[in-house]
Amino acid sequence: MMLFMTEDVSHLRALREAAGLSLRELARLVGEHPSNVSFWERTGKTPKSEVLVPMAAALGVSVEELLGEKKPRKAAPTGRALKSFAQVSHLPRSQQKKILDVVDALLAQQSN
């Protein structure tokens, strides 16, 4: 199966760039060598099945969207926000609460 290719950029590359990840960062997040990710981007070939779920999670998309199917997407952190929230999840609960209080206050400010 081939990932959807646009005229200049593969679907995988477009998703990676939209997530704000470098090729090396994505490779590290999914436990693959950067040359494998580069190959999938250049050829449009589908990654190994065991890589699809972690890759979709790293990119903040569903496996269906990773494979090129148009699915409505829920708002979820991607790119830098995804990395930051992943790091926050490893902090002690008290520190997580403080960070979430700040985020909630900022979001409340935005909705006014």
For residue range 18-58, list pLDDT tens digits in order. 999 999 999 999 999 999 999 999 998 888 899 999 999 99
Residue that the structure tokens 């999670």 belong to: 57
For residue range 62-101, list pLDDT tens digits in order. 898 888 877 555 667 778 888 888 888 888 889 989 988 9
Cα end-to-end distance, the chain, whole Å:
47
The per-type count for the chain, helices as H runs and strands as E runs, is 7, 0
Non-local (6+) Cβ contacts of 16 within 8 A are: 23, 26, 37, 41, 59
| Angle formed by the axes of helices 11-18 and 34-43, nearest 10° | 120
Do residues 43 and 53 touch, judged by C-beta distance below 8 A? no
- For residue 106, is pLDDT > 60? yes
Half-sphere exposure of 14 (CA within 13 A, CB side): 14
**What does the pLDDT read at residue 41?**
92
Domain limits, the chain: 1-74, 77-112
**What does the pLDDT read at residue 7?**
47
Identity of residue 58: A
**Which CATH fold topology does 1-74 show?**
434 Repressor (Amino-terminal Domain) (1.10.260)
pTM, full prediction: 0.58
